[in-house]
Amino acid sequence: MACAIALPASVNGLKKKGASGMFTRRQFAQAGLAATASLSTVRKPARADEEKKMTFEITKTDAEWRSALTPQQYRVLRKHGTETARTSPLDKNYEPGVYHCAACDLPLFSSDAKYDSGTGWPSFWKPLDNAIGTSIDRSLFFSARTEVHCRRCGGHLGHVFEDGPQPTGLRYCMNGVAMKFVPKASG
């Protein structure tokens, strides 16, 4: 015995001709899978096209980046991955100093702008001048976020959100593995 699901008449093209307006579970699942597959292929090229337009001072081949970075750094910095929340020792580091790009050593954030956002990732309310670039990240279905990358090498650092503290109201939510901390020299 087949189970059927009734759909409104406005759903054109999904009903078989001459059918009573009912579909089997299999037909419904196939239509859903087809719609999901088409959405996932539509969203990927937008990011790839945007990246091709950007140029950076430091460029390396994929093999050179793989050789220069740890596997986790490569996944985050070059493949736009995200480290697991609460795994970076930089999240709870509040020593005075500067956070640099792990790929090219560009100074990115001062410890003076770091705060505990409670998210599990190192967070800052502002970057250093001329340190970062941004682009639109459409990798999530039906939403866009502002991606933050190193302006010198293009390494993916994290995202910026409009729920941070004053004076900027911004939260630069960074992957700790994408940065290295350089303590302030004592004395």
**Contact indicator for 3, 22 with CB cutoff of 8 Å:** no
Number of H helices, E strands in the chain: 3, 11
**Contact indicator for 66, 74 with CB cutoff of 8 Å:** yes
Asked if 173 is an active-site residue, the reply is: yes
Distance CA 156, CA 78 (A): 6
How far apart are the two ends of the chain, measured CA to CA in Å? 82
Helix H or strand E segment including 11: none
Which token pair is 142? 């039906």
Q: CA–CA distance from 38 to each of 31, 34, 80, 157, 161 (Å)?
A: 11, 6, 22, 29, 28
CA 111 to chain centre: 23
Burial letters 53-78, b for 16+ CB under 10 A, else e: eeeeeeebeeeebeeebeebbbbbbb
Please list the active-site residues.
173
